[in-house]
Each structure stands twice: as C-alpha cells, then as structure tokens.
Amino acid sequence: MRTRLRQIANTLFTLAALASVVLVVAALVGILLPMIWRGSGAVAFQGTVEFRRMQIEQLGRGDRKALQEEMEQANRLRDQAWGMLDRFAAAMDPSDLVTRVRQLHREFSTQIDNRDLRRDQTTQLKSLSRSLRDKLLAAMDTQDTSAATANLDEVLSHAEDGPLRGTVAAGYFDAARHYRDAISGVDLARRDQYVEPYRQVRSAVEALLGPRPGKPLPALVMQRYGATRWDQAREHLANVLWAREWVADGPGRPLRQVAVPREQQFAGTELAGLFPLMRDNAAGMLLPRWTFYWQYFIDDSLSGHYFGGVGPEVIGTLLITVLAILFAMPIGVITAGYLIECAGDGPLTRLLRMCINTLAGVPSIVFGLFGLAFFVIYLLPKLGAPQGSSIVSGAMTLALLVLPVVIRASEEAIRSVPSSYREASLALGASRLHCFVTVTLPAAMPGILTGLILSMSRAAGETAPILFTAAVAMGPVPSSLLEPTRTLSYSSYDMAVGDRMAAMAPHNQYGMVMTLVGIVLLLNIVAIVLRGRMARKLRGQ
C-alpha cells in the first residue's frame, strides 16, 4: 500500500515537472516568436519603388539609373491617375481658375494703363476685360451646367477679337476652354457633395504615391514619399478605394461605421474610372519587390522613426551596458571576495549582506531617481562635467542596479571553488591576496562571468534607471561619454507613448523590440559559450 502511494506520488511529481517545463518552453516560444516574427518585418519586407527612391535620396544607397527607369515605368501609370484627379479637380474646385482669372484681369489693367492709349480706348478695353472676367466667374460659380456653358460660349465668342489678341487677356479663353472641357462630363449640381470625398481621395492617393510631381516638396521628410512598404501601400490603397461612413440603424441605436466603395460615391463622374485603375495597377505604380534591409541595424533614423533604422540606439545600448558592467565588475568581485575571504560572520557582515539583498529588491525607478539626484545633479557637475544626463551617469546608475546580482553571483562562484585549491596555494607560501588573485579568482571566473553577462542583459533592457540619467528620444550619436544617448529600451518606450509614430510605423516599433531581444539573446549565448569554454579549460580538456 505504502509503495503504491509512493509510486503515485512519484508519477505526479514527474508529471508536474514535465508540465512546468512545457509551460516554460511555451511561454518562451509564445513571447519570443511573435516578437521576432513581427520584428523581422522591419528588416525583410516588400519594398516599393518609393522605398528605393528614399534610400537613394536620403541615404545615398542604391542604383540611380535603375531607379530612374523604374520611376519612368511607374510614372506612366501614375500620370493617368494624376491626370484624372487634376481634371476632376478643375471641375469640382475651380478656385485655382478663379484666382487665375482675377489675376489676369489685374495684369491686363496694369498693362493697358502703361500703354500709351487714348483715354476712351483704355476705358473700352478695361470694360471688356471686366465683362469677360465677370462672365467667367459667373460660369465657374453656377451649378447649372447649361448656364455655365452659355457664359463660357459667350466668352469664347470674343476669342477672335482684335484688341485682345496677343495680350495677357488671351488667357481668358484658355481658362474658358479648360473649364468647358472639365465640366462636360460632370453634374455641377452635385459639386458641393464631392468636395470632401475628393479631398480624402486626393490625400489618400498622395499617401500612396507620394506628393504630386512638380509641386513644391513638403518640409517633412516623411511626407516626401509615398508608401515605402507594400503592406503600408495596401492600407493606403484601401483608403483610396473605400470610404468610411457612419450609418444610423435607427433611433436610439449606436452609429455604425461601414465601408462604402468610392467608385459608388463618384458614380457618373469621370473620377469613377480612377478606382479600377488604382485597384488594378497599384503594383505597377509602386513596383514592390522583396527587400532585405539589413542596414536597419546600423542606419540612423529619419523623421522620428518613420524611416531608417536603429543604429544609434544599438550603439547607445551597447555603450551604456558595457560601461555599466565595467563599473559593476570590479566593485562586485572585490566585495564578494571580501565577504568570503575576509569578512567572517559577524553582526556587521550580516548587516552588510542584508543590505545587499535589500538593494536587489529596490524598484529600478528608485535607482533612476537616485542616479538623477546623485550622479547627474551632484557628482558629475562637481567633477567638472557639464550638467545634464550623460552616458556615464546612466552607466553608473545601471551598475548600482546590477551590483547586488553581480555580488551574489560572484560570491557563489568564489564559494564553489574547491578549498583544496586554496590550501595548495597557501601551503606553497602564497599570501591570501596572492592566493585569491592567482588561484581562487581564475577558478571562479566562469561563474562570475555568467553572473556578469546575465546582469548585462538585464541592464540592456532597463528603462527606468536611464530615463532621467542618460536617455534621450532624439538626438545625434554621442561623441563623448558625457553626452546623453538614445537607447533601444528608451526609444521603444518613447515610440509607444510619445507620438503617433507607433501607429504610423508599427514595423519600426517591432523591429526595435526585436533588436533589443536579439541583443539580450546574443549576450546570453555568449555567456553560455564563454562559460563552457572556460569550464572546459579548467577541467583540462
């Protein structure tokens, strides 16, 4: 009976152990795999011709000639779309034409004032110009197609008039012809209805294809290019093809958003042809191609984090982490050596150990605030460094954070060195210091190193301690250790809470997190390999 119970207990234990292993593995896979999957989108994706244009213009990377050919190919299709939009714009929104007509009249008036004419001639020409202008404006203002056409025809009947030939006023007739073409296929009565949808379509097309060629370039780099990635392009294309409208199901019911095809919105107008064109030729306009953008890890970012990579963040993270470990290692190892070799077991030592253990449990933001108060505001300015956050103060704060872990790992490693090594060394006449440095420390090195690199990966991911002491969201690559830097952890945080960048370029957010996880993983692998090699060397293989 007893044996049976024991067997059951044994089986239960085995099952529980197995279950926990499975759980841990599942958690790892469940956390890491999606992160790497989403993050890899920042590096490997279908880049469009806009991406290649951006790379050449902003980073000077790529083949200019090939790009030119591609742009020509894409522009052949794009020009159709732009042409449709422009013609529709002229009919829907004659404000450009109105401005031009008014300007023509002003210029013409100045011209005839300056010409040496008789007074009655001047008056006659001026009144003719005024009447033409008014007719044109009336034609552009009315929503009645036949009235507009009548006005335009009347204006055009003066086209062969002698006095206006060869003067600025000839522009009236061009404008009239242009407008007559534009309104020929449009129901002017519904013009007001089209204004807002047209604006939406126009901005969606600009987001997809980039600003209309020939217009002045926007100031922001991120607005100078269309969709650089095919996944982004498909979202913008959906915005072109579908309108979102709110519909009421009935009184008292919440409004519902539905997608309405634009083709339907613009049915009966010339613009209706734009949507099949865009739908069928989006790939031809953007020429997506699989791109492996490995420079993501070394490129500086452009326009926030909209374009470019995380190079400065990687450098900053590595710098701060390595420096933190360089600060923490000597202090930690010496403390551990003291605690084991010299301190004994008095009440003072016990207090010291308790302090170290407590330090390990202090929240990281407390370390961050301490670093701000002590290193940034007090210590470094006192030593002559410029006030303000810097890599050094961040690294020192991180060193404090990982110090308890380093001390405990080193203590364990030193304690696990067989006492026979120590005895042998002392029996050969070595002093305790010499024994510690030449025998105990080398033998404990694999363990100490593992502790160090594990704390290093913790330090790499910490945000709170460097929040006030070292990190900035934007800024140049630091040229000295007394300047602040960007880091992966802080930039991911900043991207998530700071502005709309996380929504506009989610791939960059994921890519940043993936890089951070990658660095931590890499450090851990290095720790495992180093430890293995050292241990093998110590075992004599």
Partner 1 sequence: MMLRPNYDCRKPDMLTMEDQPSQRDQAPIPPSAQRKPINLRRSSVARPEVRAQGFSLYYGAKAGVQDITMDITARCVTAIIGPSGCGKSTFLRSINRMNDLIPDTRAEGLLAVDGVDIYDRRANLVNLRQQVGMVFQRPNPFPKSIYDNVAYGPRLQGVRGQRLDELVEKCLRDAALWDEVNDNLGKSALALSGGQQQRLCIARALATGPQVLLMDEPCSALDPIATARIEELIIGLKHQYTIVIVTHNMQQAARVSDRTAFFCLGKLIEYDDTKTIFTKPACKQTEDYVTGRFG
Contacts to partner 1 by CB under 8 A: 344, 418-431, 434, 438-439, 442-443, 537-541
CA dihedral sign, ordered 281, 284, 286, 289: positive
Strand partners, 307: 302
Query: 186: closest CA among 137, 149, 134, 132?
Result: 149
Pick 73 or 349: Cβ nearer partner 1: 349
User: Smallest distance from the beta carbon of 452 to partner 1, in angstroms?
Assistant: 20
Pick 33 or 428: Cβ nearer partner 1: 428
Pick 331 or 343: Cβ nearer partner 1: 343
User: Smallest distance from the beta carbon of 348 to partner 1, in angstroms?
Assistant: 16
User: Smallest distance from the beta carbon of 435 to partner 1, in angstroms?
Assistant: 10
User: Smallest distance from the beta carbon of 412 to partner 1, in angstroms?
Assistant: 18
Pick 62 or 442: Cβ nearer partner 1: 442
The rounded distance, in Å, linking the Cα atoms of 453 and 282 is: 49
Burial of 129 (0-12, 13-18, 19+ CB in 10 A): buried
DSSP calls for 444-510 = HHHHHHHHHHHHHHHHHH--HHHHTTTB-SS-PPPSSTTS-B--HHHHHHHHHHSSTHHHH-HHHHH
The rounded distance, in Å, linking the Cα atoms of 222 and 420 is: 67
The rounded distance, in Å, linking the Cα atoms of 35 and 38 is: 5
Return the DSSP state at 93: -
User: Smallest distance from the beta carbon of 413 to partner 1, in angstroms?
Assistant: 14
Strand 289-292 relative to strand 44-47: parallel, antiparallel, unpaired?
antiparallel
Contact in structure between 305 and 488 (CB atoms under 8 Å): no
Pick 182 or 534: Cβ nearer partner 1: 534
Pick 170 or 428: Cβ nearer partner 1: 428
Q: CA 119, 123, 129, 132: dihedral to nearest 10 degrees?
A: -150
Q: Which amino acid is at 72?
A: E
CA dihedral sign, ordered 358, 360, 364, 367: positive
In order of 198, 251, 261, 392, the CA distances from 258 in angstroms are 18, 17, 10, 55
User: Smallest distance from the beta carbon of 350 to partner 1, in angstroms?
Assistant: 16
Strand 307-308 relative to strand 301-302: parallel, antiparallel, unpaired?
antiparallel
User: Smallest distance from the beta carbon of 527 to partner 1, in angstroms?
Assistant: 20
Pick 3 or 419: Cβ nearer partner 1: 419
Pick 174 or 423: Cβ nearer partner 1: 423
Pick 10 or 416: Cβ nearer partner 1: 416
Contact in structure between 477 and 459 (CB atoms under 8 Å): no
User: Smallest distance from the beta carbon of 448 to partner 1, in angstroms?
Assistant: 15
User: Smallest distance from the beta carbon of 434 to partner 1, in angstroms?
Assistant: 7
Q: What SS3 class is residue 299? A: coil
Query: 306: closest CA among 42, 39, 37?
Result: 42
At 43, phi and psi to the nearest 5?
A: -105, -45
Pick 387 or 431: Cβ nearer partner 1: 431
Pick 257 or 419: Cβ nearer partner 1: 419
In order of 403, 430, 446, 454, 496, the CA distances from 528 in angstroms are 21, 32, 9, 10, 33
User: Smallest distance from the beta carbon of 540 to partner 1, in angstroms?
Assistant: 3
Tokens 């197609």 locate to 145
Residues found in the chain: 541
Pick 187 or 341: Cβ nearer partner 1: 341
User: Smallest distance from the beta carbon of 349 to partner 1, in angstroms?
Assistant: 13
Strand partners, 247: 256
User: Smallest distance from the beta carbon of 427 to partner 1, in angstroms?
Assistant: 4
